[in-house]
Homo-oligomer: A and B are copies of this chain.
Amino acid sequence: MTRRPFRHESEDVRRQDLIAATLDCIADYGIQGATVRQIAERAGVTPGLIRHYFVSKERMFQTAYREIMNTMFETASKASEEHGSDAIGRLKVFVLANFRPPIIDPRMLSLWATFISQIGVDPELASIHREGYLAFRDRLETLLQDVLTEAGRKPNQDDCRRMAIAINGMIDGLWLEGCMAGSLFREQELGDIALASVATLLGIDFDKAS
């Protein structure tokens, strides 16, 4: 009876592997299927090791949720930053990024819904969500301000907040449906609808964007 061979890994790599395995398991088998044993197997490791890196399963899930929220925010955020100087173009790219992979993805929805569903059980997840939501909304609000300023309009503080809330809500809702039932919509249809709606809400025209 020989013991399974193994390698020492740096803490960073191991933690990252374990979190990735956690997300894989949740996406594939639901939270019931994301057991310590399943996760360990997926990570190519024995169950005991998990306890060596995370004081509890609960903490590991929190870390995993933070990573998901970060991915979603950063993807859209990076897209807009890389775009260039005109505000209207940045907003356009920011909105559209939410309707393309990796953000639009049944797997993403699965993960997101799982963590949301656990908010009642683990309140820390609510706090993580709020952080991510506000980061996203603040970024959006800034983009809106820039667009309105660029258009020569004087952006009212409160109006911007309300518009950001509404647009953020619409993006979330359309994203949900796109992940869940992409086949109900034509290619790029949700992105187009989102863009057109944002244009109407702001009273702008995205065709002017570069």
Contacts and interface: CB of A to CB of B under 8 A. Distances in A.
Interface of A: 27-33, 106-107, 109-110, 113-114, 116-121, 126, 129-130, 133-134, 162, 165-166, 168-174, 176-177, 180-181, 184-185, 190, 193-194, 196-197, 200-201
Contact of A166 (B28, B170, B184): B170
Given A166-B194, A193-B162, A116 B180 contact: yes
Contacts of A166: 170, 174, 193-194, 196-197
**The 6 A-B residue pairs with the shortest CB-CB distance in the complex, in nearest-first order:** A169-B173, A172-B173, A173-B173, A113-B117, A169-B174, A170-B170
A61 to B, nearest CB: 11
Given A30-B120, A31-B32, 17 more contacts: A27-B120, A29-B120, A30-B117, A33-B121, A106-B119, A113-B117, A116-B180, A129-B180, A130-B184, A133-B177, A169-B171, A169-B174, A169-B194, A172-B172, A172-B176, A172-B177, A173-B173
A31 B162 contact: no
Contacts of A27: 120
